[in-house]
Structure 1
Amino acid sequence: MNNKLKYFIYSQNSINTYKSCPTKFKYKYIDKINWKYDDIESREYYDSLKVGSEFHLLCERYFSNIPLGLNEYTNPKFKVWIDKIKNMFPMNKKNNKIYLPEYEVRFNLDGNIITAKYDLIIIDENSIEVWDWKTENVKLEYIKVKDRIQTVVYMFLAKEAVCKIFNLNIDYNNIKMKYYQPQYDDIPIEIIYNERQHELNKSNIIRYIDMINNTNYEKNDNYKYELIKNDKHCSFCEFNKLCNRQDVVYSMLEEDIYEC
């Protein structure tokens, strides 16, 4: 194992980075390179990141039952979006549900620490719902999110970590994940769960962590996996300039590259 990974905390984003391109993982997590441009072409991209973080903050305030801070300077679309959230989750109605916005968990999986920070966890008597807010300008599809690393990690930790923290015995079938894009419609994409999928998720997480831990990042001996570059991913990568001397195409860049 690379010494820089000795105390590494794995997340859906770091695992997905490796899955996308091991060389990108090296730049981002081993070499600690924060590649960021400040030019005209990049402004729209970074503005979209700001929109996402501001909407997440409004949702956190709403589910924490604190003032939203909306005023005449607030982006008008935020008012529309938060009204949709209020209609979906009327907090003034009494119920026994537990709402946990921006909730972070950590779990020891075979000696490796893996973490998830949920936009929203809703715990009912016999169920858990994982909600994730998406504000990018590309409409998500079920087929593209059901097997993404975020879904794998978040649902696995909902069963293993959230249930343990709250001493719950929730059946696999009563755990759901919902991706919601307020700019498109009022119906979230829903991912259901089962025990077979849980075991598959666990094995996939362990497999990727093993690959990350045993990749030859520094060109040394005795590593199971050689460092490779996924050329098919270059157009989507913020390190395209560094690897290929080509400009970054911000319209294709991933939304979450600067998340943990």
Structure 2
Amino acid sequence: MDQKLKYFVYSQNSLNTFKSCPLKFKYKYIDNINWKFDGVESRDYYEGLKSGSEFHLLCERYFKNIPIGENISEEFKLWIEKIKNIIEIDDSKIYLPEYEVRIKIGQNYLTAKYDLVIIDENSIEIWDWKTESQNSSYKNIESRMQTIVYMYLAKEVIQKIYNMDIPIENIRMKYFRLKIDNSPITIKYTNEKYMISKSLIENYINNISNLNFDETIQKNKKHCKYCEFNKLCNNETINYDMIDENFDYEMIEEDD
């Protein structure tokens, strides 16, 4: 095991990075390279990241019952109204915006930070706000690493924190793509999905832990045009329209 990974805290981002390209994982998490290309073509990408972060903060304030203020963009006002129309505040439920949990797996930890968790007496809802325009199929959303990790930790950690023993089918994840949808995409959980997720997560962490990063790590060439390290690896233009930490490699295979 690389010493930098001895007590590494994994997340859906780091697991998805390894899944998409082991060399990219090495750059980001072993070599600690923060690659930011300062060019005109990257401006919209970084502005989009900033905008998404600002909107998540706005949602956190709303669900913590903190005034969100009036000086917000028309687009943000529209998105907030969409959320208000879908999620009706109920005093009998628990609302946890920007909620972080973690679990120990071997020597390492797996963590997730949820945009919003809603806990009822017999259910857990995970909400994730998507502010980009990227569209994808239900199949890809269901199988993306974010879904796998978030739903697994909801079952393993959240229900234990709140001393719940709920039916697994009452755990749901809702992706709300605010630019392109008026209602969320709902992913349901099953015991079969849970067992597959548990095995998948443990296998990824085990494989990463046992990989010798001092040796030559092969890059995934199919992923290069979607990667922020494309300029570094190949001296080729970065496709900022496609860069996304949650981007799943299955989408590339389908396109091919």
The two structures share one fold, judged by TM-score above 0.5: yes
For residues 61-115 of structure 1, give each alpha carbon's deviation from its aligned partner in whole angstroms, at most 9, with x where no partner exists: 10010010232xx221001110111122233xx4311000000001112342100
Residues 111 and 171 (structure 1 numbering): CA distance in 2 closer, same or farther, change over 3 Å? farther
**Residue of structure 2 in register with 1:193 after alignment:** 189
1:250 to 222, 228, 240: 240
For residues 208-260 of structure 1, give each alpha carbon's deviation from its aligned partner in whole angstroms, at most 9, with x where no partner exists: 001111111112xxxxxx73210000000011111111121212222569xxx
Q: CA RMSD in A?
A: 1.4
Give the AA of the match of 2:130. K
**Residue of structure 2 in register with 1:167 after alignment:** 163
**TM-score normalised by L of structure 2:** 0.93
2:228 to 215, 219, 238: 238
Structure 1 residue 143 displacement after superposition: 1.5
Q: Structure 1 CA distance, aligned partners of 2:161 and 2:104?
A: 13
**Residue of structure 2 in register with 1:52 after alignment:** 52
What is the aligned residue count?
247
Give the AA of the match of 1:246. E
Retained in 2: the 8 A contact 1:136–1:255? no
Give the AA of the match of 2:224. C
Give the AA of the match of 1:189. I
Retained in 1: the 8 A contact 2:176–2:185? yes
Give the AA of the match of 2:33. I
- 184-193 or 20-29: bigger deviation: 184-193
**Structure 1 stretches of 4+ moved >4 Å:** none
Give the AA of the match of 2:238. V
**Residue of structure 2 in register with 1:132 after alignment:** 128
Residues 4 and 110 (structure 1 numbering): CA distance in 2 closer, same or farther, change over 3 Å? closer
Structure 1: give runs of 5+ residues left out of the alignment: 220-225
**TM-score normalised by L of structure 1:** 0.91
Q: Structure 2 CA distance, aligned partners of 1:141 and 1:125?
A: 31
Aligned ranges 1:1-260 → 2 under 5 Å: 1-71=1-71, 74-91=72-89, 94-219=90-215, 227-254=217-244
For residues 157-195 of structure 1, give each alpha carbon's deviation from its aligned partner in whole angstroms, at most 9, with x where no partner exists: 000010111111011111000100122222211110111
Give the SS at the match of 2:241. Answer: helix
For residues 121-161 of structure 1, give each alpha carbon's deviation from its aligned partner in whole angstroms, at most 9, with x where no partner exists: 00001000011000111223212110111000000000001
Give the SS at the match of 1:176. Answer: strand
Give the SS at the match of 2:77. Answer: helix
Q: Structure 2 CA distance, aligned partners of 1:173 and 1:84?
A: 26
